[in-house]
Amino acid sequence: MNTMELIEGHKRITPAPGIPVWDIDPYGEAILSDPLEYYAELRAKGPVVYIPRLSILALGQYATTHKVFSDHENFVSSRGVGLNDFAIEKPWRAPSIILEVDPPDHTRTRKVMSRALSPKMVKGLVDMFAATAEELVSSLLKKDSFDGVTELAETFPVAVFPRAVGMKDVDQRILVDYGACVFNAMGPDNRLRRWALERNAEIAPWIMAACARDRLTDDGLGAMIYDAADTGELDQEEAPMLVRSFLSAGVDTTVTGIGNALWCFSQHPEEWQRLRDDPSLVRPAVEEVLRFTSPVHTFGRTAGHDTEIAGFPVEEGTKIICVLGAANMDPEKWGDPEVFRIDRRPTGHMAFGAGIHGCVGQNVARAEMEAILHALSRKVARIEPAGEAVWRPNNAIHALDQLPLKLIPA
Closer to ligand OVV by Cβ: residue 98 or 140: 98
Closer to ligand OVV by Cβ: residue 11 or 106: 106
Taking the C-alpha atoms of residue 318 and residue 55, their distance in angstroms, rounded to an integer, is 8
* Contact (Cβ atoms closer than 8 angstroms) between residue 130 and residue 374: yes
Closer to ligand OVV by Cβ: residue 86 or 183: 183
How many Cβ atoms sit within 10 Å of the Cβ of residue 119? 9
Closer to ligand OVV by Cβ: residue 245 or 260: 245
The nearest distance, CB 184 to ligand OVV, in angstroms, is 10
Taking the C-alpha atoms of residue 41 and residue 22, their distance in angstroms, rounded to an integer, is 10
Closer to ligand OVV by Cβ: residue 252 or 271: 252
What sign does the dihedral 369-372-374-377 (CA atoms) show? negative
* Contact (Cβ atoms closer than 8 angstroms) between residue 173 and residue 199: no
The nearest distance, CB 324 to ligand OVV, in angstroms, is 12
The nearest distance, CB 249 to ligand OVV, in angstroms, is 3
How many Cβ atoms sit within 10 Å of the Cβ of residue 346? 19
The nearest distance, CB 238 to ligand OVV, in angstroms, is 12
The nearest distance, CB 261 to ligand OVV, in angstroms, is 20
Q: What is the DSSP letter of 212?
A: S
Complete edge-to-edge strand list for the sheet that includes strand 404-409: 146-147, 404-409, 380-385
Question: What φ, ψ does residue 37 adopt, rounded to 5°?
Answer: -65, -40
Closer to ligand OVV by Cβ: residue 96 or 302: 96
Closer to ligand OVV by Cβ: residue 182 or 211: 182
The nearest distance, CB 250 to ligand OVV, in angstroms, is 9
The nearest distance, CB 181 to ligand OVV, in angstroms, is 9
What does the angle CA 185 – CA 188 – CA 189 come to, to the nearest 5 degrees?
Answer: 85
Q: Quick one: three-class SS letters along 221-269?
A: HHHHHHHHHHCCCCCCCHHHHHHHHHHHHCCHHHHHHHHHHHHHHHHCH
The nearest distance, CB 99 to ligand OVV, in angstroms, is 4
Report the candidate in 171, 168, 148, 157 with the shortest Cα–Cα distance to residue 262.
148
The nearest distance, CB 83 to ligand OVV, in angstroms, is 14
Closer to ligand OVV by Cβ: residue 249 or 407: 249
Closer to ligand OVV by Cβ: residue 249 or 367: 249
- Output b/e per residue, 142-175; b: 16+ Cβ within 10 A: eeeebbbbbbbbbbbbbbbbbbbbbbeeebbebb
Number of helices and strands in the chain (H, E): 18, 14
Residues that bind ligand OVV (CB under 6 A): 96, 98-99, 182-183, 245, 248-249
How are beta strands 319-322 and 56-59 bridged, if at all?
Answer: parallel
